[in-house]
Amino acid sequence: MDSTKKYKNEVSEIYGQGAQDFSDFFKDAHDFLEPDRRKFIESMPSSAKILDCGCGPGQDSEVFAKLGFNVTGIDITPEYVKMAKRRVPKANFMQMDMREISLPVDTFDGVWVSFSLLHIHQADVPQVLSNLKKIMKAHGKIMIALHRGPKTDWVTANISGINHNCEVQEWIQSDFERIIQENGFKIEYSRPFERPGGRFPLLSIMGSIQQRYQ
């Protein structure tokens, strides 16, 4: 088994075992992402198609669906996909790895990536960004939230909500901004912040497609 598949299975297993605990801990969409969520929503056309990439149990998908958007959610963990389907029956959910996205090109007005890219090693991030860019419409927007760190590094962290150690990618803000721009996105804003009581410094970045293909 190659290292990517091995890690994919480990992430799915860790989150699958802690799925109910995570859902109970984060009952609603993260309130500390409200400024980012508001900017993202305001940038969407009224009939927008939104991809919730790494949707978890569907908290953000629920917010978007209630606003009348056409929502698709993907997650690597089958337990989350089942939870999300129950929580947001009007949305479409499927088990999928963001490194191997199989969705129609030029489809989504918006892509929401809330603390799921942190499970992708920096070496694989360009591939993920390329996948997401292809399925976005030319005017599409992407919002990404992840962990900041003292250096850009693959580290072991205790995951909030499931209280289990897992390897995650932390970023220096300038490093992540650079990789976003190198992979064809224009940064519209970048917000470093910390949530009250949180374990990690955080970063939210909103971008648009600057270059479709490289």
Q: Give the confidence band of 1 by pLDDT, cuts at 50, 70, 90.
A: very low
Stretch (H or E) spanning 167: strand 164-170
Residue among 126, 136, 143, 158 nearest 14 (CA)? 158
Q: Give the confidence band of 46 by pLDDT, cuts at 50, 70, 90.
A: very high
- How many CB atoms within 10 Å of residue 198? 12
CA distances, 25 to each of 37, 57, 59, 70, 209 (Å):
20, 11, 12, 27, 34
User: pTM of the entire structure?
Assistant: 0.91
| Residue 131 token pair | 């996948």
Q: Which residue has the higher pLDDT, 86 or 199?
A: 86
Q: How far apart are CA 156 and CA 86, in angstroms?
A: 32
CA angle 166, 31, 189 (to 5 degrees): 85
Determine the average pLDDT of the residues in 24-48: 90
Determine the average pLDDT of the residues in 140-165: 88
Whole-number pLDDT of residue 33: 96
Q: How far apart are CA 50 and CA 73, in angstroms?
A: 8
Lowest mean pLDDT among 7-11, 18-22, 27-31: 18-22
Give the burial class of 202: count Cβ atoms within 10 A of its Cβ; 0-12 exposed, 13-18 middle, 19 or more buried: buried
Q: Is the pLDDT of residue 91 over 90?
A: yes
Amino acid identity of residue 74, one-letter, is I
Whole-number pLDDT of residue 4: 56
Q: Which residue has the higher pLDDT, 125 or 3?
A: 125
Average pLDDT, the chain: 89
Whole-number pLDDT of residue 9: 67
In tens, the pLDDT along 101-110 reads 999 999 999 9
Amino acid identity of residue 161, one-letter, is G
Determine the average pLDDT of the residues in 160-178: 87
Q: Which residue has the higher pLDDT, 101 or 20?
A: 101
Amino acid identity of residue 73, one-letter, is G
Domains of the chain with CATH codes: 3-209 (3.40.50.150)
CA distances, 159 to each of 56, 116, 151, 162 (Å):
13, 12, 19, 6
